[in-house]
Structures are given as structure tokens and as C-alpha cells.
Copies of this chain bind each other. A is one copy, B any other.
Amino acid sequence: MARTAYHHGDLQQQAHQQALDIVREHGDSAISLRALARQLGVSAPALYRHFADRESLLAELAISGFEWLRQRLLSVDQSDSRQALIGIGLAYVAFAQQEPNLYRLMFGGRVLPQGVHPRLDEAGKNAFQVLEDTIASASECGYLKPMPLALMTATAWSLVHGLSLLTIDGHLPAADTESHLAEGVTSLLLDGAIATPPNSKNNEDTP
């Protein structure tokens, strides 16, 4: 449908873009369908021709965020196992720090519960898949200890997810040393925290 005095012509995409800008700048709570329609020179119910409700619009924005994150993670160099693991972690945390409001929308949990928007769930899984593949590759190369893959992926994801949220919420200090912190944190996971070498009896799979 072409542009007219009556028909906007390109709502949906323009609404998506404008809403994405608002979320990136002011967070998802700043999204108001009425205000959004006002900015686009259109009546509020017009948006309902393109989005089922406010939450569905937010889900679309989160999908964009996950696809964006996935591209960032895909562009990490995968030649060396250790550098790939640390690089993925750094890229993940960097994305969250550069797009804190978008990241919070993607992983808010409360505003966008899982199992409601299937395409959103899929987009999230696709992004996570990159991290999972990197870990699986490092495991197959023998770089990692023998352990269930799910344990390592859960640990790595928890670490970068937690670090991302704590830093963007201001619970961890030092904005300038953030990347150093992220590198130290991921390295610490790989090397272990305890002083005694893990040779004696802390492998629970081979007692």
C-alpha cells in the first residue's frame, strides 16, 4: 500500500525503528503506544494493525537485539580455543555495556516472559547457540576438562550474563576498567580460583 494523506505507507517498519531508538535511549518503560503514534503522525489504534499489543512490539525489538548480538558473537576470531572463549565473553559483555537498555529488554524476564513469543525464544536460542558452539569446539579440541557440556555452557553464560547485568546496573565499579574486569573474570573461570593444583580428587566424573 502506497503513501497517501490517509495511508501512512510505511508504518510497521518506521514504528519498529522509532521504538527501537526509544528503547536504546530510555529503556522499554519509556515506550508508550500513544506517544509513539503521535511521533509518527498517526492515531494510536493504527499501530494495532501491525502489532498485537504493546508487549508484541517489545518482543520484535528484542528479536532485533538478539540478531544483533548473534552477529557480534559470530564475528569473533575462532582460530585459538582460549582466545575464542575469552573473545566471545568479551564481545558478549561489550554488547551489553554498549546497549544496556536493549539488553535489559532482551533478558528482562518479567516484561517478556519466555514461552509467549515463539520467534523471540528462537532468536534467543540462535544467539546462545554461538556461545555453545564455541565451547563445544574447545571441548572437542581437548582444551577443556572432561565434563558435561551443559555444565560448561551454563557456567560460561551465567558468568557473562551476570557480569553484564551487574556492570550496566552499576553494582560493580570502574567503568574504565570494565574490559579488564571482563577479561580477568573469563580467564579466572578457565584457570580456576584455588591455589592448590586440581590433581588430587576433584573430578566428580572419574572417582
Known: A162-B157, A168-B109. A195 touches B142 (CB 8 A): yes
Q: What are 14 pairs between A and B in contact, CB < 8 Å?
A: A107-B169, A107-B171, A143-B195, A147-B188, A151-B185, A152-B188, A154-B163, A154-B166, A154-B172, A154-B184, A155-B163, A158-B159, A158-B185, A187-B204
| A144 pairs with B193, CB closer than 8 A | yes
**Is A75 positioned at the interface, with any CB of B under 8 Å from its CB?**
no
Q: Which residues of the partner chain B approach A199 to less than 8 Å between Cβ atoms?
A: 197
Q: Which residues of B contact A197 (CB under 8 A)?
A: 197-199
Query: A123 at the A/B interface (Cβ < 8 Å)?
Result: no
B158 near A166 with CB under 8 A, answer yes
Contact string, A158-190, partner B, CB cutoff 8 A, digits 1/0? 111111111011111100000001001101111
Known contacts A110-B28, A181-B154, A193-B190; is A165 also within 8 Å of B168 by CB?
no
> How far, in angstroms, from A199 to B198 measured CA to CA in the complex?
11
Assembly CA distance A150 to B113 (angstroms)? 33
- Cβ–Cβ < 8 Å partners of A171 in chain B: 107, 114, 124, 128, 157
| Cβ-defined contact, B194 with A202, below 8 A | no
- Which A residues have a C-beta under 8 Å from some C-beta of B? 27-29, 82, 101, 104, 107-111, 113-115, 124, 128, 142-148, 150-152, 154-155, 157-166, 168-173, 181, 184-185, 187-195, 197-199, 202, 204
With both chains docked as a complex, state the minimum distance between the C-beta of A99 and any C-beta of chain B, in angstroms. Answer: 14
A163: B residues at CB distance < 8 A: 154-155, 158, 162
B194 touching A144 by the CB < 8 A rule? yes
CB neighbours (8 Å) of A110 from chain B are 27-29, 101, 104, 108
Given B162, B181, B195, which contacts A151 in the complex, CB threshold below 8 Å? Answer: B181
CB distance from A194 to the nearest CB of B (A): 5
Q: Which 5 A-B pairs have the closest CB atoms?
A: A192-B192, A162-B162, A158-B162, A109-B169, A161-B162
